[in-house]
Amino acid sequence: MNVRNFSIIAHVDHGKSTLADRILERLGAMGERDKRDQTLDTLELERERGITIKSTPIRLQYKRPNGEEYTLNLIDTPGHVDFNYEVSRSLAACEGVLLLVDASQGVEAQTIVNAYLAIDNNLEIVPVVNKIDLPAADPEGAAKELEDVIGIPADGAIFASGKTGIGVDEILEAIVERIPAPLGNPDGPLKALIFDSFYDAYQGVILFVRVLEGTLHAKDQITLFSNGRTFDVDKVGTFSPGLVVGSELTVGSVGWIAAGIKDIHDAQVGDTVTSKDNATTEPFPGFKPAQPVVFSGLYPTNTEDYRRLREALERLKLNDAAFVFEPETSEALGFGFRCGFLGLLHAEIIQERLEREYDLDLIATAPAVVYRLTLTNGEVFETQNPAEFPTKDRIDVMEEPYIKLSVMLPEEYVGPVMQLLQDRRGVMKTMNYLGKRVELLYEVPFAEILYDFHDRLKSISRGYASMDYEQIGYREGDLVKVDIYVNQEMVDALAVIVHESKAYSLGRKIVDKMAEVIPRQMFAVPVQAAIGGKIIARATVKAYRKDVLAKCYGGDISRKKKLLEKQKKGKARMKNIGTVEVPQEAFLAVLSTEE
């Protein structure tokens, strides 16, 4: 069967999308008018940041020198650790992968993780050493590193350059030679795996599928395995990279189905599509659902946008199965949603997509991880919302999530990076020397790497360090909830959960920042950070003062004292009945500070 399904996987920035461009160019899939960089990155955001966020499929025709014709289905994947879930979904639709390594950087943290993902899925790996045209390139060294670190034979590596197009022909031959053809019976019962989907205003939900058994035609009736609902197929087709209507999808095909599915919740990524009349008995194992690990509240700055925000979130969820949300309310910010993400970049991208694609103005609360609490009555409950945190006397055990963090870096930066990890309460496990580079393995509380850890790591190592992490469960920790009071009133949206050792410095930062941005009143406004009933930090917004002594020229001091006393009483009375409106800018300023 002359079909090959493959993915390109690599560490972030090792040239996946550029190499995909050269392959498309070589196979004539890009006309002169379509030529642009990062062809498969369809989101404006992807092109701006130069990263891939969504996996994008495309079908290509390849004619070998001996005249044989092949259909190649390529799925370009993201490299960033937050989008690992996208990669695992893409790999389920493939038989093989091109594993890219940058010739000047060598094997990085994410290279290893993606390689093991492919090995776990029993995929054929074709190693490619990319960017050999760079002045600092060491292709032989990078290939040897692949062999030493991952165990992929160096003699099978192809040397290529995504920029100049060197090695593209060898890569295409290797895909045909080394990656196996898809197996399956075209006449058996239909079994197709949904690996992605998006919402189209005219056609409803469009499913991206990989056909594992059987054949699907337009006008067939399909059933979705998870909920048993039946739909009539309007159109089927392939990707080029846009949607191209075809007549059928058969075994090994990667394509799309439009079946007039109106409800977004019917199309679950990882579900199996089968035929109504000739149904398969066993669904495809699918993927285990991605567990969000970082939570943050999203609130519209204009409360009337609440409904629009809800619709936008539902549509984004369809296109991004790892994202979850539920409604929540805050006294300070009104109605909004508590959203779950796979990491900070994921949260940032979702927020930016909501603001751009759906024209919304949003406030995001400080990101938090999920804490597990055992109460004194034996009940165990998980929370990521500081507002739900019970009082200290009701908690027996507090646990926070830990991760296993792997950092790859050149030898000379080991000292400062170890210091950074120690400051973040990391515990060192091992240190491995891999050629000229060092791999540090640490166990770190997840909350500690949430904010600016990645930026600090990059600046300390001058951009050479790379990191990857995986969840390793919960451990006990001394956690406290820091509440923020403005004029003796608690502001729920600013409460944070933090380790006891860092509570004072964080409280100090927040109150200082609030005191800067709250507008001055006619009376002094105290801003306080407290743990339980104990105030740990305070700053004061100074009052405006009218100069009541202006009319006193000369005269007795007692007269001046009397006037100042009168002013003081007036301010005290004003303070008791006056309320301080905390402006939206104040929330934005505090929630967007690096800490």
90 carries a ligand binding annotation: no
Nearest in space to 586 (alpha carbons), one of 529, 510, 524, 535: 510
DSSP string, 401-420: EEEEEEEEEEGGGHHHHHHH
Nearest in space to 360 (alpha carbons), one of 324, 316, 312, 396: 312
13 carries a ligand binding annotation: yes
For 366, counting Cβ atoms within 10 Å of its Cβ (0-12 exposed, 13-18 middle, 19+ buried), the class is: buried
C-alpha 375/C-alpha 407 separation (Å) is 36
pTM to 2 decimals? 0.63
C-alpha 52/C-alpha 55 separation (Å) is 7
Helix (H) or strand (E) holding 129: strand 124-130
Cβ within 8 Å of residue 308, ≥6 positions away: 300, 358, 360
132 carries a ligand binding annotation: yes
499 carries a ligand binding annotation: no
Q: Calculate ∠ Cα 438-442-443, nearest 5°.
A: 165
pLDDT of res. 38: 45
Residue matched to tokens 């609030």: 514
- For residue 498, how many C-alpha atoms fall within 13 Å in the half-sphere facing its CB? 21
pLDDT of res. 548: 62
CA distances to 56, 92, 256 from 76, rounded to whole Å, are 5, 13, 16
Q: How many residues does the chain have?
A: 595
If one counts every other C-beta atom within 10 angstroms of the C-beta of residue 151, the result is: 9
Helix (H) or strand (E) holding 574: helix 557-577
C-alpha 430/C-alpha 423 separation (Å) is 18
562 carries a ligand binding annotation: no
pLDDT one digit per residue (tens) for the chain, 595 residues? 588 888 888 777 667 777 877 877 887 765 444 444 444 444 444 444 444 444 567 778 888 888 888 888 887 665 455 555 555 666 777 788 888 888 877 777 777 777 877 887 788 888 888 888 878 778 788 888 778 777 778 777 888 887 787 888 888 888 888 888 888 777 888 888 887 777 777 888 888 888 888 888 888 888 887 777 888 888 888 877 677 888 888 887 888 888 888 776 677 777 788 887 777 777 766 555 566 777 778 888 777 888 888 888 887 776 666 678 888 877 667 788 888 877 777 777 788 888 887 888 877 777 777 788 888 888 888 777 777 777 777 878 888 888 888 888 878 888 888 888 888 888 888 888 876 778 888 888 888 877 667 777 878 877 777 777 777 888 887 888 888 888 777 777 777 788 888 778 878 887 887 777 777 776 677 888 888 778 888 888 777 666 666 667 666 777 777 777 776 776 566 555 546 566 556 665 565 544 4
pLDDT of res. 532: 79
Q: What 3-state class would DSSP assign to 428?
A: strand
- For residue 119, how many C-alpha atoms fall within 13 Å in the half-sphere facing its CB? 10
pLDDT of res. 315: 77
Q: What 3-state class would DSSP assign to 31?
A: coil
133 carries a ligand binding annotation: yes
CB 237 within 8 A of CB 243: yes
pLDDT of res. 358: 81
131 carries a ligand binding annotation: yes
CATH numbers and ranges of domains, the chain? 3-178 (3.40.50.300), 191-275 (2.40.30.10), 294-364 (3.30.70.870), 371-476 (3.30.70.240), 481-591 (3.30.70.2570)
481 carries a ligand binding annotation: no
pLDDT of res. 39: 43
If one counts every other C-beta atom within 10 angstroms of the C-beta of residue 98, the result is: 26
260 carries a ligand binding annotation: no
Amino acid at site 144 = K
Q: What 3-state class would DSSP assign to 536?
A: strand
15 carries a ligand binding annotation: yes
Cβ within 8 Å of residue 75, ≥6 positions away: 5, 6, 7, 8, 55, 56, 57, 58, 90, 93, 94, 254
